[in-house]
Amino acid sequence: MKQDQLIFRNLLNYSGRFRYLLLGTFFSYCVFSVNAQNFNNRPKTPNDDLVSFQVNDDGSATFRLYAPDAGKVELGGDVKAEKIEKAENGVWTMTTAPDINPSAYRYYFLVDGMKVNDPKNPMVPDFRPMVEIVPEGETLFWQKKDVLHGLMSIVYYESDATHSTRRMFVWTPPGYFTGNEKLPVLYLLHGGGDNDTNWPGQGKGGWILDNLYAEGKIVPMVVVMPDGSIPFHTFAKDLANNIVPYVESNFRAYNDADHRALAGLSMGGLEVLETMIYYPDQFSYINVMSSGWWTSQPENYEKYDKLIKAAAPTLKSTLKYFIFTCGGSTDGASKNTPPTRDLFTKYGVESDYSEMEGGHTMYVWRHDLFNFTQKIFK
């Protein structure tokens, strides 16, 4: 078996086992949590703005968990709490001894004796449990088949937009490292509450691409799955000014709009819209999956009406394929998609529309990826 078929071929058949905290003389911790398509409108709780971990001036560490109904909460793992308190609002606070040695520590909470991972830790999306429910004896288009597999790589890059080191997954087709031709690139974005592991993991992006490539249904391409869990406009800047240049400098990729595609689901769809409006000459193929600006926020439509009007001439000359997709009547974003699409149509930016019943779920978005990749770069 060739090297690129061996390395990391099973990289994504994992469930995360380790949780890391970086402790040192200087510690910076920042979590931006966005749930762009929260359709439940649930009441606000102390958990929404909870900072679950911090390093204190005396070198101790404080951990927090919102568990209002728990009778007992303890800190487990490589660190122990010297002081545990429960506030009236249901937030438990656990503080260690001072002057902890700078290191990486694993931890968890014991809630009435049950082991619980910190739901506020930004690495949580890396380890969410997952099961596959499929008809007996069938192998679906998103499952692993006996075909040549591409390489799914984990790539770290420096971001000027966030002033930090960020991570992304990159799929390259079988034979990529033995070839010399340049390839087009699809940038594929996840939804709110997830990170760059979502498409390779729950989305089964690698298996879908492997199977389509083996069947000759897609052209050879590079597929980049970045971490979009930052503010929309910041992500658009990161994508245009950091991610795309990094990919085109470190992979055999074309460096023009004709060979770039952009797709994203839910929150990722809003990031697609943000990117294509502010960088209208950068992508020729666009798929907005289960997304659109909230109809309950007319100020967004006023803002983007002006921006789309300004971007429309460039978009019309750049776009080769533009589609909105949705999960039918049970998709919570279905009411937002048509008026968002209408804004583009208003200024002559035409798009296709497709929907299938399945709701606001990965069941639908896998089909979107399956269909979109067969349309692009041809």
CA–centroid distance for 210 within its chain: 20
Residue 3 confidence class, pLDDT cut points 50, 70, 90: very low
Q: How many helices (H) and strands (E) does the chain have?
A: 8, 15
Domain limits, the chain: 17-125, 151-373
Q: What whole-number distance in Å separates Cα of residue 321 and Cα of residue 378?
A: 11
In CATH terms, are 17-125 and 151-373 the same topology?
Answer: no
For 71-102, what is the HEC assignment? CCEEEEECCCCCEEEECCCCEEEEECCCCCCC
End-to-end CA distance of the chain: 30
List, for residues 56-84, the tens digit of each pLDDT value.
Answer: 999 999 999 999 999 999 999 998 999 99
List, for residues 199-257, the tens digit of each pLDDT value.
Answer: 999 999 999 999 999 999 999 999 999 999 999 999 999 999 999 999 999 999 999 99
* CATH no., domain 151-373: 3.40.50.1820
CA–centroid distance for 108 within its chain: 24
Q: What whole-number distance in Å separates Cα of residue 227 and Cα of residue 245?
A: 16
The per-residue pLDDT of the chain, averaged, comes to: 88
pLDDT at residue 140 in the model: 93
More confident residue, 9 or 343: 343
pLDDT at residue 22 in the model: 35
Class of domain 17-125: mainly beta
pLDDT at residue 41 in the model: 59
Beta bridge partners of 158: 165
What 8-state DSSP symbol labels residue 112? Answer: T
